[in-house]
Structure 1
Amino acid sequence: MAGEQLLLVMLQQIMVFMFATTLALRNRRRIRVQQRRRMRRMYREGQYMGLNPAFVAAALVLLQTRHVDRHIGAYPRSSEWWQAIAIETFDDAQWYKRFRMRRNTFALILNDVNDVLRRTDTHMRTAITAEKRLAIGVYWLASGDLMRTVGDLFGVSEGSVSNIVYEVCNAIVDNLGRYLSFPRGQRLRETIQGYEQEWQFPQCGGAVDGSHIHIKCPSSDERTDFYNRKGWYSMVLQGIVDFAYRYVLHLWG
């Protein structure tokens, strides 16, 4: 019996709340309709109260536009992982594990793309540094994590990560061409034609393969990075050749 009474009270409260909300919305709508009618009448009768007709027309548009409360601000984010942990505490092994490259390689790339990735500070906010932008792009390429996760690590938004990854990739392609010299233009057309004529393999610009080059066991702590699946120490030579077995590109890794 007590449960039924409690349920009845709750239903009554909900009905009262819905009724009050409906009345408030109707009253607000009625006030807006009256305002629009008053402005239209003034506009028709030419009673602008000394105001420009264009101003009155703009006021009509604003009255017909639904009011939306907007808040200016930014979601608080922290870049402690990047500044206090990655930069200050990571050794070479930890850095390589996260970014799939050593610090000196990262510095070499940064030196080539720094001018392209640098942004100017504004009165609204401080620009993300070129070093941090490159780190965001390289980290995402190396890990494949969600852009939201990468943004949380570096203290930026998910949208910023998306834009930065795109800019970093373009900067690398445009400014590091001397390290990767794939066939272009007439040379590429000749290579494709040669593969189709010699091997009946159309639309091919090169054949990719890798080989383990035997080396002595490194004396550093990074020896495990050179221990291959075959059970000995090596460096991987990846090569690209054309239809006549001629090297087009070779990369050490």
Structure 2
Amino acid sequence: MKAQNCVFLSALTMACPFLRDVVDEEALVLRRAFRRERVFRNRLDPLAFPDDHLYERYRFSADGIRYLCRLLGPRIKHRTARSHALSVEQMVCVALRFFASGAFLYSVGDAEQLNKATICRTIRSVCLAIKALADVFISFPGHRRLCDMKEEFYRIAGFPNVIGAVDCTHIRIKAPSGAHEADFVNRKSFHSINVQMVCNADCVISNVVAKWPGSVHDSRIFQASEIYQCLSQGEFSGVLLGDRWYGCQPFLLTPFTDPQEAQQAYNHAHARTRARVEMTFGLLKARFHCLHKLRVNPVRACDITVACAVLHNVACLRKERAPRVPPAMDWDNPAIFPDDDSGRLLRDQYVLNYFSPSLS
């Protein structure tokens, strides 16, 4: 019966165009009456979403992104609005989406509804603007008093006089072209840059050196760094903690290779305290997935790494949501720098004064 009515109405409306318009208008009114009202968000406003949505894509809340926009706006804002120039908010969100996802540029462009060339220029502009702020957000030994930093490290495992933990991490890159391609092949046989970082007890980065190929050893990077020169000249009161692949120095304490009873207590406290730098690497790479592999040349890879370190500190200082940290990777690399005699003497004094069984 319903089919016959449909056929009848169809034939009637075809025969009478006026009646067809009336039927169409009534059908439209009925659809509007029973249809739920749709809410359209402004696609030009990347912040028109809840914080969960923003964090998933940009690793920052709406307030955090607005803070970055105010911080970077004077450096990246277009002078005119010609050719539909991107707003500061759009530029910051484009770069953050790339840092957070590590996706191909065309994938970021599809997500942000922009072409690949615009994405590339925007990421480069924002990256350099963030890198220019490295001296503001990354400073050794930090923005807090030395006594407070030492106390925070001491609370971890009772290791005294610590002002930082140092280590290196490898950032995978694509094989660079040129005569020095082999220099970037590391011990795990893939191309990378070897990045040195120092962190405090809150996993805030206080020093970063991103300029060395993956084949360069951690100890060599440390001895060529500015922080080594400052510490060796006694500019800071305190010591760094490094793993057993560094040479023991008066300002860089390492664990014992074959510990005795008191030395085992020292090694245990040393390992728990130094683990903060491993946690920092885990947080950094979990927050910015682009650092798992960068499909750019080594110079740009270094710039992106420093920019991510700055953003990591901003996120830590602003108490942004921390990502889940995967298990740390253990690099089995041989030590090539011997211990310093004065370094070994200071390490023995630490064992005698702080970790001897007679003190317990």
**Which TM bucket (shorter chain)?**
0.3 to 0.5
More helix by share: 1
When normalised by structure 1's length, the TM-score is 0.43
- Pick the structure with greater CA Rg: 1
**Structure with more relative contact order (C-alpha pairs < 8 Å, separation 6 or more):** 2
When normalised by structure 2's length, the TM-score is 0.31
